[in-house]
């Protein structure tokens, strides 16, 4: 009788507000009308023009959008993508953190409606299948996701955007060990498109390429899009606080600032710059950190045997009972977790006048974001609250855009600074500038407080004054002298296994083979460092060693290593892998 109609309709999992394969939204509702593009600033217009010139060249050129936080880099991407789509081509947008995906997807869906597909590792198999199919069908014009979004079946891609290009998460640390930036550049050279890299704190490698490679250009956005000033950064010397009798995790100035801002119904973001294994000794009186006499790195504290060890050259010394510099007994082993910080913060807020227990603390770390959709739920809770504190690890330092955040505090800026890794200073500088950019993004003024025991360190002083030149003038000569990127190419040869003696023996044997290979094939130009235990010498009950190979820029570092690894006799008890251009040596 026609009262019942049976029809077949595809419902896309994870896209309740998004597209079905045919382009109509699930449930048959009307698609959201795309938002209009706002008026661009002069800097944004120049950036879009630079991207257009790179696209017109059609040979895989790279544009580095070097813009301060809040300068409107996302709008530059959106307009460049609009022009790419108008030519019938597609675009891929990569973001470093899954926590940024909901905000980014909302911006892109607001502009491009249902033509946006999403790909990241927290999706279920069913959701990934639907998105994959949506992309393969041709209905998806823009793909947003983490680094693996490069490998979706998007045809005729004319533009790839990598946001926050300095982030280490673009390098995959398990096989296949690729860097999304290198893969994207290769893809665009083959497809006749352009690659756009965006960051407020570009990696030293990208800055070097802009200066040396004619195929790379830069577009600077030195001012915020709304004309507001960058927030003032105040460095709080915790050694001086300690000397004055304060033993608290939060300095008096940060505690007062929290009370003032929260009492007025505003929000604060607190960053715990924490890496769980980063155990180093620090004197709370003078700020002294024991360092290796042969390498430009701090010594790592080992609980077993109370030893300090350099993981670059193997230098070992017993942990001192008092500070060798000033004789103070207050030598602290660093590494406080977010849970402990949350407990102390709750006690602090409860005791502040006009604040009290009604102000929520929203903690974002690996523990609280394990569940699916947890990132989005926590950020929505923070957005909905009047006065609130967002406490988190590095995942909160970038991309978050809340108008009513007026205070940003870095609990301890030193944790990353003294990691035994050549990028420690660069990462500290980037993190402080990135997290500072979360404050004062709208009409309200922002302020930033950085707590540190190393108030005189150049990375912290440069970040506090937004002075990249000062940092590079100190950092680049050290990299050149010690032979680190961007002045050399590196390969990190990793070995691991359950038997420590077997791993050490195999590492020594492989080191001898590598040294002989390099000596015979390329001579003295390459360097093969001795086999030493990794910083994380034991991980998940396996022992880890590594051998670092350094080669001049322009040399093919992988070809000789491929030949050796294809012919060498494999030891069943020991695994081996080669990481070309590693992001760290930890």
The domains of the chain, with CATH numbers, are 36-221 (3.40.50.300), 232-278+334-478 (3.40.50.300), 488-580 (3.30.70.600)
- Is-contact 395 368, C-beta < 8 A? no
What pLDDT score was predicted for residue 38? 83
Give pTM, 2 decimals: 0.83
Give every CB contact of residue 329 below 8 A, 6+ residues apart in sequence: 321, 322, 323
Residue of 85, 389, 110 whose CA lies nearest to 265 = 389
Q: Specify the pLDDT at position 18.
A: 41
DSSP per residue over 263-328, as a string?
A: HTT-EEEEE----TT---EEETTT----B-SSSSSBPEEETTTTEEE-TTT--EEEPPSS-TTT--
Flag whether pLDDT at 121 surpasses 90.
no
State the average pLDDT for the chain.
Answer: 87
pLDDT score at 163: 94
CB 560, CB 521: distance < 8 Å? yes
* CA distances to 173, 197, 503 from 491, in Å: 13, 24, 19
Residue with tokens 């330092």: 397
pLDDT of 479-534, one tens digit each?
999 999 999 999 999 999 999 999 999 999 999 999 999 999 888 899 999 999 98
What is the crossing angle of helices 558-567 and 500-521, to 10°? 130
Q: Which pLDDT tens digit goes with each residue over 432-473?
A: 998 888 888 777 888 999 999 999 999 999 999 999 999 999
Residue 435: both structure tokens together: 């997290």
Q: List, for residues 315-355, the tens digit of each pLDDT value.
A: 889 989 899 999 998 887 765 556 667 888 999 998 888 88
Contact, 295 vs 310, CB < 8 A? Answer: yes
Task: Read off the pLDDT of residues 60-111 as tens digits, 9 standing for 90 and up.
Answer: 999 999 999 889 999 999 999 999 999 999 999 999 877 666 778 888 999 9
- Among residues of the chain, what percentage have pLDDT more than 90? 56
Q: Which residue has the higher pLDDT, 174 or 48?
A: 48
* H helical segments located in 196-274: 204-212, 238-243, 252-263
Q: How far apart are CA 251 and CA 211, in angstroms?
A: 41
- Residue 564's nearest CA partner among 552, 554, 549 is 549
Q: How many CA atoms are closer than 13 Å to the CA of 459, on its beta-carbon side?
A: 23
């Amino acid at each position: 009788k026609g009262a019942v109609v049976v029809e077949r309709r595809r419902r896309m999992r994870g896209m309740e507000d998004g597209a079905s394969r045919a382009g109509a939204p699930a449930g048959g509702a009307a698609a959201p009308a795309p938002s209009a593009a706002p008026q661009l600033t002069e800097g944004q217009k120049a950036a879009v023009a630079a991207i257009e010139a790179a696209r017109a060249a059609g040979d895989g050129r790279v544009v580095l959008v070097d813009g301060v936080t809040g300068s409107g880099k996302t709008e530059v991407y959106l307009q460049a993508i609009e022009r790419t789509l108008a030519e019938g081509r597609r675009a891929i947008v990569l973001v470093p953190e899954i926590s940024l995906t909901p905000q980014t997807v909302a911006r892109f869906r607001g502009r491009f409606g249902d033509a946006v597909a999403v790909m990241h590792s927290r999706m279920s198999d069913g959701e990934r299948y639907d998105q994959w199919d949506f992309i393969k069908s041709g209905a998806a014009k823009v793909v947003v996701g983490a680094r693996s979004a490069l490998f979706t079946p998007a045809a005729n891609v004319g533009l790839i955007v990598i946001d926050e290009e300095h982030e280490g998460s673009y390098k995959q640390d398990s096989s296949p060990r690729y860097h999304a930036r290198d893969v994207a550049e290769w893809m665009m050279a083959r497809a006749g498109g352009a690659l756009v890299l965006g960051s407020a704190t570009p990696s030293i490698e990208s800055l070097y390429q802009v200066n040396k490679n004619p195929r790379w250009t830069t577009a600077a956005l030195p001012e915020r899009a709304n004309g507001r000033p960058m927030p003032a950064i105040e460095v709080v010397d915790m050694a001086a606080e300690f000397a004055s009798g304060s033993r608290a995790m939060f300095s008096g100035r940060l505690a007062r600032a929290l009370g003032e801002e929260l009492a007025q119904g505003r929000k604060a973001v607190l960053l715990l710059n924490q890496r769980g294994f980063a155990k180093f000794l620090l004197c709370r009186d003078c700020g002294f950190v024991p360092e290796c006499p042969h390498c430009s790195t701090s010594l790592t504290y080992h609980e077993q045997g109370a030893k300090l060890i350099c993981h670059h050259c193997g230098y070992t010394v017993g942990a001192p009972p008092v500070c060798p510099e000033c004789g103070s007994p207050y030598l602290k082993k660093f590494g406080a977790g977010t849970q402990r910080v949350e407990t102390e913060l709750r006690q602090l807020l409860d005791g502040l006048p006009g604040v009290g227990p009604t102000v929520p603390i929203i903690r974002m770390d690996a523990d609280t974001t394990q569940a699916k959709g947890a990132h989005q739920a926590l950020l929505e809770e923070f957005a909905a609250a009047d006065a609130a504190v967002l406490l988190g690890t590095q995942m909160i330092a970038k991309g978050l855009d809340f108008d009513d955040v007026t205070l940003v505090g870095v609990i301890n800026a030193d944790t990353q600074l003294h990691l035994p890794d050549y990028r420690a200073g660069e990462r500290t500088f980037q993190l402080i500038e990135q997290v500072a950019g979360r404050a004062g993004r709208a009409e309200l003024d922002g302020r930033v407080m950085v707590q540190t025991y190393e108030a005189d360190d150049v990375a912290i002083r440069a970040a506090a004054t937004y002075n990249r030149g000062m940092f590079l003038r100190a950092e680049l000569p050290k990299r050149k002298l010690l032979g680190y990127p961007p002045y050399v190419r590196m390969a990190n040869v990793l070995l691991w296994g359950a038997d420590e003696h077997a791993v050490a023996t195999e590492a020594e044997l492989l080191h001898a083979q590598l040294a002989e290979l390099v000596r015979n094939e390329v001579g003295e130009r390459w360097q093969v460092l001795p086999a030493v235990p990794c910083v994380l010498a034991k991980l998940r009950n396996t022992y880890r060693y590594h051998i670092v190979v350094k080669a001049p820029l322009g040399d093919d570092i992988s070809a000789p290593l491929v030949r050796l690894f294809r012919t060498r006799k494999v030891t069943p008890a020991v695994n081996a892998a080669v990481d070309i251009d590693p992001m760290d040596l930890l």
